[in-house]
Structure 1
């Protein structure tokens, strides 16, 4: 058993989206993404299904040329290989659930290229 928090020790950065692996289980990787208002993750694809949960804030979540406004408490799932992007409308805390087979370094590459 392991207990962690998605809302403690927040370190937002004005210049860069901040990610941190909060938990790794036998079946998933739970990642916290901190986005300041206006920060963008350009269109990208995950190789496996993902779950995105907005813990705080508000984002525009683009999927296949449609934009969905997600607010605190909203959750969305996507199958693998579906193009999507994120734009923070407010400072936001996002929980990203990746497959155990996926790699947090891939998320960092998306951020670097955004």
Structure 2
């Protein structure tokens, strides 16, 4: 399932809009190897601490956020990315409205 067309140039910032007091998400690609999701967080919104069974890359495409990984805070802004390792608790908070592309990478070696 893809929600973007193959061989088409897109601007990530323009694929998703902010919604007041909310988190908006849009799946860009999804298959057995992982998925790519675009998120837009209004200021003060976030994701509470959780773990994931797979590594995830958060690529900030607009604004600023705080990402906490294993109890350590990181401030990220447009153009920066961070790897959130599998099974390590992490959380996200919008310092200001921000957009990010989240790439989940599944280990399919045992499939």
TM-score category of the 2 structures, normalised to the smaller one: 0.7 to 0.9
Bigger Cα Rg: 2
- Per-residue CA distance 1:35-75 (angstroms, 9 max, x = gap): 01111210011111111110111001111111110111111
Query: What residue is the counterpart of 2:93 in the other structure?
Result: 87
Moved over 4 A (4+): none
Query: What residue is the counterpart of 1:55 in the other structure?
Result: 61
Quick check: 1:29 aligned with 2:35?
Answer: yes
Q: Which blocks of at least 5 consecutive residues in structure 1 are unaligned? A: 102-114
What is the CA-CA distance between 1:15 and the residue it aligns to? Answer: 3.1
- Per-residue CA distance 1:65-107 (angstroms, 9 max, x = gap): 1111011111111221110001101111101001257xxxxxx
What is the CA-CA distance between 1:26 and the residue it aligns to? Answer: 6.5
**Which of the pair is proportionally richer in helix?**
1
Q: Distance in 2 between matches of 1:46 and 1:13?
A: 26
Q: Is the 8 A contact 1:5 1:22 kept in 2?
A: no
Q: Which blocks of at least 5 consecutive residues in structure 2 are unaligned? A: none
Q: Distance in 2 between matches of 1:40 and 1:96?
A: 14
Quick check: 1:69 aligned with 2:78?
Answer: no
- How many residues are matched? 101
TM-score, normalised relative to structure 1 = 0.77
RMSD of equivalent CA atoms: 2.0
Quick check: 1:78 aligned with 2:84?
Answer: yes
TM-score, normalised relative to structure 2 = 0.79
